[in-house]
Structure 1
C-alpha cells in the first residue's frame, strides 16, 4: 500500500499516511484498517459526537508504542474547514474539535486519534442532555457483576421515568445512558451520585460509589462523576486502545440479561450495525428524553 494517499472526503482534501503501520501488534491490525472501520461506522457514530467538544486520545506509534497524547485543544495545523467549539472552563477557554462530518472523523483518525471521547452536553456545559453511569469492575469482579448492576440501575431509572440504554466500554465494563432535558451540572451530578449511593445501599456486596481502590475488590464501581461538565466518556462506536482492537459497542438488554459475549471488535460491530442498526438511536430522539425527578 502507498505510504501516502491523497483523497477527497465530503469535498475536503485529505492526505492519509502510513496506512500499513501496525497499531495493534498483538493482532497485526493496521492504521489503514482502523481508518476503514471509522469510514464505515461513521453513519452511526457521527450523530453521537457531532456538536460535542471532542477529546482525542492519540497513539502515533500504536497502542504499544509508548507515545500517547490526551488532547482537548484543536491539534496544530488543523484545516480551516474543521469545525470547532469554544469551551469555557474554570481555568481557561479553549477551542475543541467538533467531529461533525466524515471528513473530520477521517482527519482525526489519520492523526492517530484511536479513541474519541465526548462530554454529556452539547452547546452548553451547564445544560447536560445525557446522564451516564460508568460501571467499572474492580479486582475479582467482571462483566457478570456489571450485568447485575446494569439491570438494577435500569430499573431504578425506569422508576424515575428515564429510559436507560447501554453499551460496552470497550474495556472491562459497561456504560449506561439516559437522555434528559437540558439540566444544570450540579443537578445531574447530584442525581447520579444519589443513584450510585442507592445502588450501593441496596447491594453492598456488589456496588461501591467511591473511587478508592481499597474499596473496589469484588465490587463494581458506579462512576457517577463522569456527569461533571469537565469530564468525558468514550463515544459510542469509538475504537479503544486495548491489547486487541475493541469497540465501545451498543448492546441490547436481552444481551445483558444473558450470558452472551459482550466484547466486540470492529468487524463484529459493523456486522451488528448492518443487522440491527444503531441500538443507541433512541438516545437521539425526543420521545425518549426524560426529566429528572
Structure 2
C-alpha cells in the first residue's frame, strides 16, 4: 500500500493494488480501552488479508460498523451501494422479510486488498459472511460450509465450549467431515466443516440432528434449544446459524469488544488444553503473530472437493 498526498486535514490519499482511496480519521481511537485507532484497524486488515481473503471469495459481506468507536452504538450494514466505488464488486441478493423493508440489497464482495482497505476505512470492524457463495452472475449457491456456534451460558465459559467442541469433532469425523475451530472473539467459539450439498436446508437439518444428539449424550453440559431458561451453566449449540438467511462472524474478523479481540482460528491442541476463559483470547497483534507461526489454520476449508453430508 503506497501513500499519496494529503487531500484535507485528517485525510490521506493512498494507492492500493492500483486503486486510489481516501483514508480518513486515521488517529481516531475506536477501541478506547486499548487506544487502538482506525489506522491500526486498517493496518491489521491489510496485514491479515492474505489469509482472510480466501475465505471471502464470492461471499457477500454484512458489516458491523462503529464509526464512533466500540463504546458508542454501532450498526449492521448490508447495502453497500451507497459507499462502494465502482471497483468493489457488489451483488444483488433477495432479502425477503428484511428489517429495512427492502426486497433486495446490494452486498459487497471483498475480493482483494483494496476492497478490504475500503471496508476497514468505513470502520467496518466486524465482517459477517454466510455459509454459501454466489455464482458468476450473482445467483446464490447451495451451502458449502457447516457451522456450529457454541454459546456458553454463565457461569459456563469457553472452557466448557472446548469440551463440547472436542466431542462434536469426533462425531463429525465419524461422518467423514473434518472440523476446524475458532474463537468467536467474544465469549464462545465456532466449529466449521466444508461440505457438499444439493439442498438449501440440508446443513441446518443435519446440524440440528447432531445438536440434539449431543444434548441427549451430555445433558448436563449441552442444550440444543434456544430458550434462555435452559441455557445457564450449559453450552448452547446453535445449529440455526446454518439458515441461509443468517451470517456468522468471519475468521480473522475483529470484534466490537472493549479490546480489539479477533475471531481466531485455533489448533485442536489449544482446544484440548483450554483451562481458563483467558486462555483463548487473542487481539489483533496476537493474531498477526499466530499467522506468522501457523499460517492459515482454516485452510482445510479451502482444500479440494468437500465431502457430502451423510443421510
With normalisation by structure 1, the TM-score equals: 0.96
Residue 202 (structure 2) aligned to one of 183, 187, 191: 187
Question: 8 Å contact 1:126–1:229 — kept in the other structure?
Answer: no
Q: Does 1:78 align with 2:84?
A: yes
How many positions carry a matched residue from both structures? 291
Q: Distance in 1 between matches of 2:284 and 2:159?
A: 23
Residue 289 of structure 2 aligns with which residue? 271
Runs of 4+ residues deviating >2 angstroms? 88-91
SS of corresponding position for 1:127: coil
**How big is the shift at 1:77?**
3.2
Aligned with 1:27 (options 19, 31, 34): 34
Is the Cα–Cα contact under 8 Å of residues 129 and 247 in structure 2 kept in the other structure? Answer: yes
Q: 1:126 to 1:89 in 2, by over 3 A?
A: farther
Per the TM alignment, residue 250 of structure 1 is displaced from its structure 2 partner at its CA by 0.5
Identify the match of residue 246 of structure 2 among 225, 231, 237. Answer: 231
Residue 255 (str. 1) matches residue 277 (str. 2): no
**Could you tell me which residue of structure 2 aligns to residue 10 of structure 1?**
17
Tell me whether 1:145 sits opposite 2:163 in the alignment.
no
State whether residues 197 and 309 of structure 2, in contact with CA within 8 Å, keep that contact through their aligned partners in structure 1: no
Given candidates 210, 222, 232, the residue that maps to 2:225 is 210
- Residues 98-247 of structure 1: matches in 2 within 5 Å? 98-123=109-134, 125=140, 127-247=142-262
Answer yes or no: is the 8 Å Cα contact 2:143–2:196 preserved in 1: yes
Q: Secondary structure at the match of 2:147?
A: strand
In structure 2, the residue matched to 1:285 is: 303
User: How large is the Cα RMSD of the aligned pairs?
Assistant: 1.4
Question: Does the 8 Å CA contact 1:125/1:185 hold for their aligned counterparts?
Answer: no
User: In 1, distance between residues paired with 2:83 and 2:287?
Assistant: 32
C-alpha contact (below 8 Å) 2:146/2:242 kept by paired residues: yes
How big is the shift at 1:126? Answer: 5.2
Where structure 1 has 5 or more consecutive residues not aligned to the other structure, the ranges are none
**Which residues of structure 2 form unaligned runs of 5+?**
1-5, 98-102
| Structure 1 position 93, deviation (Å) | 2.2
Greater mean alpha carbon deviation, residues 124-133 or residues 94-103: 124-133
TM-aligned CA deviation for residue 50 of structure 1: 2.1
Displacement of 1:36 after TM fit?
Answer: 0.4
**1:63 aligned partner:** 70
Give the Å deviation of 1:138. Answer: 0.7
Q: Distance in 2 between matches of 1:85 and 1:99?
A: 11
SS of structure 1 residue aligned to 2:60: coil
Distance across 1 between alignment mates of 2:299 and 2:257: 26
